[in-house]
A and B are shown apart, each in its own frame.
Chain A
Amino acid sequence: MTLRDQMQDAIKGHGADYLEIRLEESDSTRIQYRARELEEIGRTSGRGGSVRAAVKGGWGFVSFNDTADLKSRVKLAVEQARAVGSEKTDLAETDPSVADVPPVLVNDPGSVPLADKKDQMDHYNDLIWSTPGIQSSTVIYGDNRRRVHYVNSEGAAVDQEFVHVICYVSAVARDGGDVQQASFSIGSLGDYGLIEGLDDQVRAVGQRAVELLSASGIEGGERTVILDPVLAGVFAHEAFGHLSEADHVYESDQLKEIMVLGRKFGQPHLNIVDGGAIPDLRGSMAYDDEGTPTKRTDLIRDGVLVGRLHSRETAAKMGETPSGNARAISFNHPPIVRMTNTIIEPGDASLEDLLEGVDDGVYVRNWYGGMTSMEMFTFSSGEAYMIRKGRIEEMVRPVMLSGNVFKTLHQIDGIGNDLGMNQGGGCGKAGQSPLPVSNGSPHIRIRNCLVSGA
């Protein structure tokens, strides 16, 4: 019996309204430097699975490493669901997909010898240390190959394989009690080549850490800011992406009212999309973790809310269509509504156009992180520069920016023509982190954005 046959066999006679099994094998390599020394080099293999069942609207979920006795796991998941459910299972209709999707592979990290990967990271660490005044550094390389087998009780059977590569470098400079750091990260779907040839970016990290020691801080308050494509991508993810995830909304009458389709969220030049079907990015995939084909979903079109991200359950409860956004970080977790690749579409302004007329502002680049509580959100720049009389001037210490989703999107008054993608991040939600996602945007300008002191 093939693995798929075994899984389909285990589902038979389950007694639930809905049931799915996911099995996974993974292999990972990790190389890490701290300061001048290689700290860790390791290879890991993993195996495991999970069963999710729905009975009368209640969910049971069972995860395990030992995949031998699937039938007993199915039984337990159904018992759990039965103990919970008291309403009605409601899942949006989809055509059961049957597919075997090969990994996207441009330059397979699996075929690159370990010694070559180590040499590449050695080289990057040397580049950081080529700047005088470096106190410490971190260089991390990781690759991961993950094969997922999925079947459900409606006949879907999808095998998918993903190869992810990441590289992260950071540098620390110190002057007595003043410690400053700078970092850069990049990830790719199946292309080791993207990890090579980063000399300029890596060297700049070392230089920036040292320069930050002599940079001054700025006073907090409301300011005009211009975001580079990478930080604007993080902004799209935090400021709006999370609120478009329907699991926050689908059972709350008040939130449904606030997030009603047709509500104006920004000026007519604002367009935001998300989609796993957008190819060759960190969040790209053919099917989500409920076997639903992915697509490209318009979230904001001409400044107006036109769509949202769904699982089959949230789509059914809101009378909308599943968007292929139910994702699980691994077999250990049930799928929940997540972003994939989230993009602010480009307009026609050049960076010069955006700078024009900004007498006193901040130009913010790169990212440290971001977070949202739906209404309010924060995102942090990796670099910040003063803008005076339309010109980018001296570097200042990185700042955190904060906004309110119902105000800040309206305050975007300029959208550039230079779309760039941020492939260096992962997303965290409900204990599932870091999920591979990408986000992107052109340069954007926001008026009256709340900036922290630095």
Chain B
Amino acid sequence: MADLIQLAKDAGFDQAEVYRVSSESQPIGFETNRLKEASRRDTSGAALRVIKDGRLGLSATTDPAAEDGLVARVVELAPFGAKAAFEMPGPDDYPAVDIFDPAIAALEFDTMVQTGQTLIDAVRRDWPELNCSANVSRGVHTMSLSNTSGLEAEYRQTSYSVGFGGELVRGDDMLFVWEGYGASRLFTDTDWMVESVLRQLEWSRDTAEAPSGQVPVIFTPRGVSAALLGPLLSGFNGKAVMTGSSPMAERLGDKVVDERVSVFDDATIAGAIGSRPCDDEGVPSRRVALIDRGVVSNFLYDLQTAGRMSAASTGSAGRGLTSLPTPGTSVVDIAPGDTPYDDLFLGIKEGIVVERLLGAGQGNQMGGEFKANVLLGYKIENGEIVGRIKDTMISGNVYDALSKLEAVSDRAEWVYGTLRAPAIRCLGVEVASAG
């Protein structure tokens, strides 16, 4: 491993930073109800970021033998680079964030196999015709960062994830059901996943005719993730605010959605997959309020974007090995409301539940728009679920929908370990279906 900081200093760079990552992951995969594949994936690499004559340069490699060449490459690139709007930060105090669990590092292969097979077998007891797949994965990830301002940051993170589901084919009708969860701490209670998949199958037993036009829609926590999260968060990215392409630009302090909506980005939540003591530029993690009781409270910034906006980094820099840092979310935490889950259905004469979508994220997300086919959703009649809806699309605008909010459930649930969200009932969503 080359001492890239020294090499960069020798080459006369004003400021330099070395970002290193290495990870080991061991996923196993089940297909057609039995174990099919076991893998081991090791990746590592180094990226050198420099500021030379006020301009940014980056070069990266996954080839340990090519590390010495990074400096020469970045010399060639820096004159073309963007103007740096920040100085590399020095040492800082980081919060203690619980993201390493030795029990994951010590997990036995056979235990992982048993976990996946048990889930599949449990669901197939009631639904033998379900064709199941599953994956169980564990990993250890190391990030280290050093720069010419004396910053030295390093952390190790474990991850463990379990996902399983199946397809039910009847004639030309196909139903896909799935549940999954990931955390940086080992978890052994997976019964709730079986219950969730069984509930999806039960609610889909009958097919119902979807309503058309604007009807009340309940987004389950997973539905919130599928439909609303992408269009909402794209407007809070500091880069979109900087260029003025976010509808939230110049709206800081304004009430833009119902006051029951509060959204945070929080990398300090213990045990979550996206948590970390500092971001990928070495800025300490913190809880950032994006929407506080309906009011635009802050945006997500990395150092460069914050510098351009005369703001402070929110510790939101994320990066792939081969690209410059960019602002992004870590763990999104949406505050629960005060309506018991079952009461969400009260008084709905005709409406739908949205759980999973197909094609969400295509289209004008930045404008707050969502459009998608309902991959898994149900029809509500007189407050009761009467069956699965198919060949149905929803469309709407997230700011509009969250302003026409009707209720927020009193409990937030984890969706894949990077989002904690309640179920949300709102109006303002257009439903269209094939006859």
Chain B neighbourhood of A178, CB < 8 A = 247, 367
> Does chain A have a CB within 8 A of B200?
no
Give CA–CA (A30, B362) in the complex, Å. Answer: 24
Interface pair A46/B61, CB less than 8 Å apart: yes
Chain B residues with Cβ under 8 A from A332's Cβ?
Answer: 41, 43
Q: Are B322 and A369 in contact (CB under 8 A)?
A: no
List chain B residues, Cβ under 8 A from A61: 37-41
Q: Are A453 and B432 in contact (CB under 8 A)?
A: yes
Q: Does B161 contact A (CB under 8 A)?
A: no
Closest to A238 in B: B359
Query: Given A47-B66, A251-B31, A450–B368 Cβ distance below 8 Å?
Result: no
Nearest-Cβ distance from residue A141 to partner chain B, whole angstroms: 12
Stretch at the interface among A76-84, A149-157, A195-203, A303-311: A76-84
- Nearest-Cβ distance from residue A437 to partner chain B, whole angstroms: 17
A58 on the B face (CB < 8 A): yes
Looking at the complex, which one of B36, B57, B242, B246 makes contact with A84 (CB distance below 8 Å)?
Answer: B36
Residues of chain B lying within 8 A (CB to CB) of residue A340: none
Contact of A80 among B39, B59, B66, B393 (CB under 8 A): B39
Q: How far is the CA of A407 from the CA of B41 in the complex (A)?
A: 41
CB distance from B233 to the nearest CB of A (A): 14
A43 touches B77 (CB 8 A): yes
Is B115 engaged at the interface, CB distance under 8 Å to the other chain? no
Q: Identify A83's interface contact among B38, B41, B73, CB under 8 A.
A: B38
Contact digits for B51-94, partner A, Cβ 8 Å, 1 yes 0 no: 00000111111111110010001001100111100000000000
Question: Could you tell me the distance in whole angstroms from the C-beta of A77 to the nearest C-beta in chain B?
Answer: 8
A11 close to chain B: CB less than 8 A: no
Query: Is A451 among interface residues, defined by CB-CB distance under 8 A?
Result: yes
Q: Which residues of B contact A98 (CB under 8 A)?
A: none
Residue among A59, A60, A86 with the most chain B CB within 10 A? A59
Q: Are A65 and B358 in contact (CB under 8 A)?
A: no
Binds B, one of A1-9, A252-260, A283-291, A357-365: A252-260
- Tell which of B172-180, B189-197, B215-223 binds the partner: B172-180
- On chain B, the residues within 8 Å of A377 by CB distance are 358-359, 373
**Taking the nearest CB of chain A, how far is it from the CB of B83, in angstroms?**
8
Assess whether B42 is interfacial by the CB under 8 Å rule: yes
Cβ-neighbour of A258 out of B57, B62, B169, B324 (below 8 A): B169
B245 proximal to A (CB < 8 A): yes
Q: Identify which of residues 304-338 in chain A touch chain B, using a CB-to-CB cut-off of 8 Å.
A: 332, 334
Cβ of A34 and Cβ of B80 under 8 Å apart?
A: no
What are 8 residue pairs bridging A and B, where the CB atoms are less than 8 Å apart in the complex? A37-B83, A63-B39, A81-B38, A251-B32, A252-B131, A374-B174, A375-B174, A452-B371
| Residues of A in contact with B (beta carbons under 8 Å apart) | 25, 28, 30, 34-35, 37-48, 58-66, 76, 80-81, 83-84, 86, 114-115, 118, 135-136, 172, 174, 176-181, 219-222, 251-252, 254-255, 258, 332, 334, 368-380, 397-400, 402, 404, 406-407, 448, 450-454
Other contacts beyond A220-B430, A400-B371: 20, CB < 8 A: A42-B59, A42-B60, A60-B38, A65-B42, A65-B45, A66-B42, A172-B245, A181-B367, A219-B430, A254-B131, A332-B43, A371-B359, A371-B362, A376-B391, A378-B362, A400-B359, A407-B434, A450-B433, A451-B432, A454-B395
